[in-house]
Amino acid sequence: MEMKGSDIVVECLLEQGVDTVFGYPGGTILEIYDSLYKYQDKINHILTSHEQGASHAADGYARATGKVGVCLATSGPGATNLVTGIATAQMDSIPLVAITANQAVSLLGKDSFQEVDIAGVTMPITKHNFIVKKIEDLAPTIRKAFQIAKEGRPGAVLVDITKDVTIKKGDYKPQVPEVIERRSYTYPTETIKKAIQMIEKSERPFVFVGGGAIAAGASEELKEFVEKIDAPVADSLMGKGAYDGTNPRYTGMLGMHGTKTSNLGVSRCDLLIVVGARFSDRVTGNTAKFARNAKIIHIDVDAAEINKNVAVDLGIVGDAKSILGALNLLLAQQNHPQWLKEIRGLKEQFPLTYNPDILTGPYVIEQIEAMTDSNAIICTEVGQNQMWAAQYYHFRRPRQLITSGGLGTMGYGLGASMGAKYGKPDQVVFNIAGDGCFRMNLNELATASRYNVPIIQVVLNNHVLGMVRQWQTLFYDKRYSATILNDKVDFCKVAEGLGCKAIRVTKKEEVLPAIQEAIDYNGPIVIECIIQEDDKVFPMVAPGAPIDEVFDENDISE
């Protein structure tokens, strides 16, 4: 059948099972928005306050559901405002399709009004991108974009469509989306046999899991594997929930702000099995001294990650779910009672601690966990708030923690929490923020109130850029350059002015009632918690140091 290009765009989105998109209109994308108006009973468009909020909302939707998130923007500044969100998704391997519209083909390259080469801008931060200049290419390109975003290692894809293509009419034939089969990797049988031999020889195995295990849907296979090799488990920030954080085998996060148990355990193990993690510098510390007593098996879907940051003894390229399944079939039950006893001893010797006498970020996180029985979706911003959430909330399942890992995007969490709530409307959704992050994109509270999205925004307000100040305290002789935020901004009044309910908490005994009120309230609500400016995230590894040189406040005082 013949239809306008803009209608073809929406029909293709419906083909792909898209039910919600996030965006902001403008001149060149008006035809697509006119089609969205016609299709409003079939597809839900959420008008955000800023295009960056739209990209983060699409990202949060994707992380919460495992489906492809979709955002829309017009040309020029609309498109460039998506850049941070696109890069955030790509760094964390999140399936995202960003659709932008550009000037007509005849106006490209002429510095036309709001013309930007957004494909050129985003080339380094996307898995792939397209410019559609012909109506006959439109539907195949959108279909291909979704396929690329989902298959293999997921990622962000940009589709830039010239305005004349959205206006022209072309032939459209409905098409059932191509099923993205779990890719079959032909890793040699000898590779699996070698892995089993390494596991059977090991006396102190340790499993480190990253976000790739979540993307692969490998949690059940991972649980069985860990039990079979009788090992402790640590995770990266992106791997939270791949393994149940309430399981006694779980030792906490690994790396710069990982637990002493995880950092020391990985440093003492004789075999480290890494599942779907990319050895980020925040995990490894000094790579030359990382897991220096261990042989390393690295399982990853992306061959480029093998030996990229850390040299490994055995790399297995493929789908984590399939590889773990193959190992589970062939492995005999292993037993390492002495090793697990040593790990339990480390957990008892080095628990996470904070000052119990004052209102702190960790205390707030623990109360949120208690009130939600470890079952809420927790979104975060970046910095101390993020690390406290990762340390003190025990994630039981995949897709519970929604956070910017690789790019470390301040201002990410509020938009992402709205996307998560649209993706999982029956789940309680919190966004944990510091005041520095919150002020970056707090305009999205207006979006939450417009649509009455019942998200719970917690602001841990210490009136400073907490993580940067922590570094300035520890490594810059307390030269607090541009990190003090002790100004006259009243977040509660701002929240109320943007249509949300607000509660200010200044004492420990006020925390639980505020959380209960927020959970019971059917709408967006902000809880501002006033904490001390010099609360710090511990444990910590100094930049460039090996992870076994992890320290806390007691070590500093000694």
How far apart (Å, rounded) are the C-alpha atoms in residues 311 and 331?
A: 25
How far apart (Å, rounded) are the C-alpha atoms in residues 24 and 12?
A: 19
Q: Is 114 a catalytic residue?
A: yes
With b meaning 16 or more CB within 10 Å and e meaning fewer, what string describes 421-457?
bbbbeeebbbbbbbbbbbbbbbbbbbbbbebebbbbb
For the ranges 114-118, 231-235, 379-383, 523-527, which has the lowest average pLDDT? 114-118
Q: How confident is the model at residue 184 (pLDDT cuts 50, 70, 90)?
A: low
Q: DSSP 3-state assignment of 550?
A: coil
Q: Is 371 a catalytic residue?
A: no
Give residue 181's pLDDT. Answer: 67
Give residue 343's pLDDT. Answer: 98
The β-bridge relationship of strands 44-47 and 96-102 is unpaired
Is the torsion defined by CA of 82, 87, 92, 98 positive or negative?
positive
Q: For 425, left (φ over 0), alpha (ψ -120 to 50), or beta?
A: alpha
Give the CATH fold of the 361-540 domain: Rossmann fold (3.40.50)
C-beta atoms surrounding 169 within 10 Å: 12
Q: Is 113 a catalytic residue?
A: yes
83-104 pLDDT per residue, tens: 999 999 999 999 999 999 999 8
Domain 361-540 in the same topology as domain 189-349: yes
Q: How confident is the model at residue 177 (pLDDT cuts 50, 70, 90)?
A: confident
Give the burial class of 356: count Cβ atoms within 10 A of its Cβ; 0-12 exposed, 13-18 middle, 19 or more buried.
Answer: exposed
How far apart (Å, rounded) are the C-alpha atoms in residues 211 and 242?
A: 8
Give residue 338's pLDDT. Answer: 98
E strand intervals along 25-164: 44-47, 69-73, 96-102, 128-132, 156-162
Give residue 110's pLDDT. Answer: 83
254-265 pLDDT per residue, tens: 999 999 999 999
Q: Retrieve residue 242's tokens.
A: 């791949």
What are the phi and psi torsion angles at 41 (to 5°)?
-85, -5
Check whether 185 has a pLDDT greater than 70: no
45-88 pLDDT per residue, tens: 999 999 999 999 999 999 999 999 999 999 999 999 999 999 99
Q: Retrieve residue 229's tokens.
A: 């090799």
With b meaning 16 or more CB within 10 Å and e meaning fewer, what string describes 180-195?
eeeeeeebeeebbeeb
Q: Retrieve residue 371's tokens.
A: 């009130």
For range 277-294, the mean pLDDT: 96
Say if residues 536 and 511 touch (Cβ distance below 8 Å).
Answer: no
| pTM (two decimals) | 0.97
Say if residues 205 and 273 touch (Cβ distance below 8 Å).
Answer: yes
532-556 pLDDT per residue, tens: 999 999 999 999 999 999 999 889 8
CA distances from 355 to 185, 287, 368, 531 (A): 50, 33, 18, 12
Is the torsion defined by CA of 428, 434, 436, 437 positive or negative?
negative
Q: Which of 467, 470, 536, 538 is catalytic?
A: 467
The full 3-state SS of 185-241, as one line of letters, equals CCCCHHHHHHHHHHHHHCCCEEEEECHHHHHCCCHHHHHHHHHHHCCCEEECCCCCC
Give residue 259's pLDDT. Answer: 98
Q: Which of 38, 40, 42, 113 is catalytic?
A: 113
Q: How confident is the model at residue 182 (pLDDT cuts 50, 70, 90)?
A: low
The β-bridge relationship of strands 2-4 and 271-275 is unpaired
Q: Which of 11, 31, 51, 381 is catalytic?
A: 51
Q: Is 225 a catalytic residue?
A: no
Give the CATH fold of the 189-349 domain: Rossmann fold (3.40.50)
104-154 pLDDT per residue, tens: 888 788 888 889 999 999 999 999 999 999 999 999 999 999 999 999 999
Rounded to the nearest integer, the mean pLDDT of the chain is: 96
Say if residues 241 and 400 touch (Cβ distance below 8 Å).
Answer: yes
Give residue 179's pLDDT. Answer: 77
Check whether 228 has a pLDDT greater than 60: yes
Helical (H) or strand (E) element with 298 = strand 295-300
Name residue, tokens 């602001």.
Answer: 459
Provide, rounded to the nearest whole percent, the portion of the chain with pLDDT above 70: 99
Q: Which of 4, 67, 150, 163 is catalytic?
A: 163
Q: Which of 3, 15, 114, 168 is catalytic?
A: 114
Q: Retrieve residue 505's tokens.
A: 């908490």
- Residue type, position 524, single letter: P
Residues 6+ apart with CB under 8 A from 88: 55, 56, 59, 94, 404, 406, 407, 409, 412
Q: Which of 221, 159, 175, 124 is nearest to 29 (CA)?
A: 159
**To 10 degrees, the CA torsion angle through 27, 33, 37, 41?**
-160
Q: Is 163 a catalytic residue?
A: yes
Instruction: Give me the residue spans of the domains in the chain.
Output: 2-171, 189-349, 361-540
For range 166-174, the mean pLDDT: 96
How far apart (Å, rounded) are the C-alpha atoms in residues 255 and 276?
A: 16
461-516 pLDDT per residue, tens: 999 999 999 999 999 999 999 999 988 999 999 999 999 999 999 999 999 999 99
Residues 6+ apart with CB under 8 A from 253: 234, 235, 236, 237, 240, 259, 262, 390, 391
Q: DSSP 3-state assignment of 487?
A: coil
Give residue 105's pLDDT. Answer: 84
Q: Which of 38, 117, 37 is nearest to 80 (CA)?
A: 117
Q: Retrieve residue 123's tokens.
A: 């080339």
424-441 pLDDT per residue, tens: 999 999 999 999 999 999
Length of the chain in terms of residues written: 558
Task: Name the architecture of domain 2-171.
Answer: 3-Layer(aba) Sandwich (3.40)
Apex CA 488: angle with CA 482 and CA 492, to 5°? 115
Provide, rounded to the nearest whole percent, the portion of the chain with pLDDT above 90: 94
Residues pairing with 207 in the sheet: 233, 273
Give residue 183's pLDDT. Answer: 58
Give residue 208's pLDDT. Answer: 98
